[in-house]
Structure 1
C-alpha cells in the first residue's frame, strides 16, 4: 500500500540517485571564444580554444592535484559530503528506524548542502562575464543536479 511515508522515501531515493548521476556527468560545457585573438591563439595553442567539460569530481581532483587543497576540501565537503549526509539523514528520519535525527542538525546540513547551488551559480556568472563571447552550455549533469534539488524540495 502506498502511503505518505513510502512516497517520501521514494522522493529521497530519487533525489539521491539524481545527485549521484549528476556527480559523474558533465555539469557545464565551456566553449572558449577569444574574439579577434582566436586565430593567433589557435596557431600557438589549439588546446586553449577547445570545448571543455566541467565535471564535479574531476574538478575537485584537479584542484587537489594542483595544490589547491583547501579549496578542494571546501568544495568537496559542500558539494559532495554534505548533500550525501543530507540524503542519508532524511532517509533515516523517514525510514522505520530507531535512529532519531535531531531536527536542528538536519536543517543545518540542509542549508550548508545548498552551497553547491551557490558554487554553480557563481561559476556561471564568472564565465558569462568573460570577454570575447565565451559560451557556457548546461550539460546533462546540470539537469540531473537540478532534478535532485527540485525533488529534495518536495521531501
Structure 2
C-alpha cells in the first residue's frame, strides 16, 4: 500500500430498526487536524480524476453508491513513489480512506446509481489560493486503465 494511506473499516450496529455506524472520531488519529467536511454527488460512469494537494490530507467515505478509487504516489521522498493503489469504496465496502498530501487521487462511479462522497480535509478550502493541483484522468505518466475488465 502507498506509504501513509490508511483504511478504517466500519463496525455496524444492526437491529430491527436499521443500523448505526460511527464514521470519524477525534480519537481515531486518522487526520493530523480537522479542516473541513464536504459532500459531492456524481452520476454513473463519471470519472473525477486526478488531483492532489501540497498541504492537506483527505479522508474519503462513500455512503451512497460505489466507486473505484485510484491513488498514485507523486512524492519524491516516498518509498512508494510511482506506486498505484486501487480501492473499491461505497455501500458494498464501507470504509474510510486516508489520502496523504502529494498522492494524486480520483474515482470512477460504478454501477447504475449515482455515488455520494463525504470527505474530510486537514485544511479548509482557500478560494484565493486553492491547494488543488490537477492531472488529466488519462495522464500517460500514471497510465491507469479505467475500463472495467470482463473476467
Which TM-score applies when normalising by structure 2? 0.22
TM-score by length of 1: 0.22
Structure with more of its chain in strand, by fraction? 2
Which of structures 1 and 2 has the larger relative contact order (alpha carbons within 8 angstroms, sep 6+)? 1
Q: Which of the pair is proportionally richer in helix?
A: 1
* Structure index of larger Rg: 1
